[in-house]
């Protein structure tokens, strides 16, 4: 294992090409640097420095050691920064889970503001279902929080749903309110994770009903606009399609109630990054923007 001084020595020799210049850079006597170089060669039992030329050069073995040492120097510097960061109360990493109902674009200004803190915290933002408590913060989950010990939560707002069909779809001319049997005869479009992990999220999906699973809410709206299936959509995300007649709202015998969106975080987690994010998301203007999102087709 190389010491920190030896790592710095190798890097100085590699960059300067001279023991004397390396010594000047390190603030040490040339004899001290020369002795340290010989000790390195003895330790590795290999010729590391080619002293036959005016400019000191590394042998292939020395080049390998210097290259790897350079990476080690960077790793040590990164580790030092991370240790200092954690000692000041910042987390090493923060894992944020957002629901697919939220557009990632609405979080970009928040991430930019967080970057200005220069905290060093590594952010991970994913679309997943919060079930086992691995994530530090979840934004935009629907209805009551899952039963996870020490989970804290706050309401963000309410979203309204529309049962929508393309004007070209057979259900567009069906008598309202649409009965379950009439809906079940046609393919439903669902977001892939919703259909796999949370039955409540694939609301209105009936037993035996054909399914088209798509990767996002935007993809679901597009599929239904093309008449590839039917289902519940967020009114705020496709109001323009309704106004232009590219989607039609249909009343159903089993209407869907609005959903409450909430934010949840691990109560035992007391890092500065999580506290900062919770404070930001709870601001009324930002919470409203996250819940309402933007009309994807305006």
* Topology alike, domains 4-87 and 93-157+259-292: no
**Distances from the Cα of 123 to the Cαs of 12, 31, 111, in angstroms?**
34, 47, 9
Q: What pLDDT is stored for residue 231 in this prediction? A: 94
The radius of gyration of the chain's CA atoms, rounded to the nearest angstrom, is 30
10-residue stretch averages of pLDDT, the chain, 298 residues long: 77 80 89 88 88 76 82 80 86 90 90 95 80 77 72 91 95 94 93 51 66 90 96 93 95 92 86 95 93 85
Residue spans of the domains in the chain: they are 4-87, 93-157+259-292, 161-249
Q: What pLDDT is stored for residue 159 in this prediction? A: 92
Residues 73, 67: Cα–Cα separation, whole Å? 10
- pTM for this model (two decimals): 0.71
Q: What pLDDT is stored for residue 146 in this prediction? A: 65
Q: What pLDDT is stored for residue 206 in this prediction? A: 67
Q: What pLDDT is stored for residue 202 in this prediction? A: 53
Would you list the DSSP string of 182-224? HHHTSPEEEEHHHHHH-TTTSTTPPTT--EEEESSHHHHHHHH
Residues 47, 55: Cα–Cα separation, whole Å? 16
- Torsion angle defined by CA atoms of residues 288, 289, 290 and 293, in that order, rounded to the nearest 10 degrees: 120
In degrees, to the nearest 5, what angle opens at C-alpha 208 toward C-alphas 204 and 209?
50
Tell me which fold the domain 4-87 belongs to. Answer: Arc Repressor Mutant, subunit A (1.10.10)
Q: What pLDDT is stored for residue 110 in this prediction? A: 96
Q: What pLDDT is stored for residue 196 in this prediction? A: 40
Query: Is CATH 3.40.190.10 the right assignment for the domain spanning 93-157+259-292?
Result: yes
Q: What pLDDT is stored for residue 200 in this prediction? A: 39
161-249 maps to which CATH number? 3.40.190.10
């Amino acid at each position: 294992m190389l010491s920190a001084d030896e790592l710095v020595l190798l890097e100085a020799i590699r960059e300067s090409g001279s023991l004397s210049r390396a010594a000047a850079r390190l603030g040490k006597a040339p004899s001290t640097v020369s002795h340290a170089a010989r000790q390195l060669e003895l330790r590795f039992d290999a010729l590391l420095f080619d002293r036959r030329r005016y400019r000191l050069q590394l042998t292939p073995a020395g080049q390998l050691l210097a290259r790897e040492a350079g990476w080690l120097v960077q790793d040590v510097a990164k580790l030092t920064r991370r240790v200092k960061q954690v000692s000041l109360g910042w987390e090493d990493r923060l894992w944020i889970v957002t629901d697919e109902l939220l557009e990632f674009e609405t979080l970009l200004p928040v991430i930019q503001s967080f970057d200005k803190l220069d905290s060093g915290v590594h952010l991970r933002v994913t679309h997943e279902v919060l079930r086992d408590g691995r994530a530090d913060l979840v934004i935009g989950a629907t209805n009551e929080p899952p039963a996870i010990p020490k989970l804290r939560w706050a309401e963000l707002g309410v979203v309204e749903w529309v049962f929508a069909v393309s004007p070209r779809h057979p259900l567009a001319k069906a008598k309202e309110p649409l009965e379950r049997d009439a809906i079940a005869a046609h393919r439903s479009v669902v977001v892939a994770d919703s259909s796999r992990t949370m039955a409540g999220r694939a609301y209105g999906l009936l037993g035996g009903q054909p399914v088209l699973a798509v990767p996002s809410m935007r993809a679901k709206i597009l599929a239904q606009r093309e008449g590839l299936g039917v289902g519940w959509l967020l009114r705020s995300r496709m109001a323009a399609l309704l106004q232009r007649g590219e989607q039609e709202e249909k009343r159903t015998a089993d209407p869907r109630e609005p959903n409450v969106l909430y934010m949840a975080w691990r109560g035992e987690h007391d890092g500065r990054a999580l506290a900062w994010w919770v404070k930001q998301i709870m601001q009324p203007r930002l919470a409203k923007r996250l819940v309402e999102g933007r009309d994807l087709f305006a």
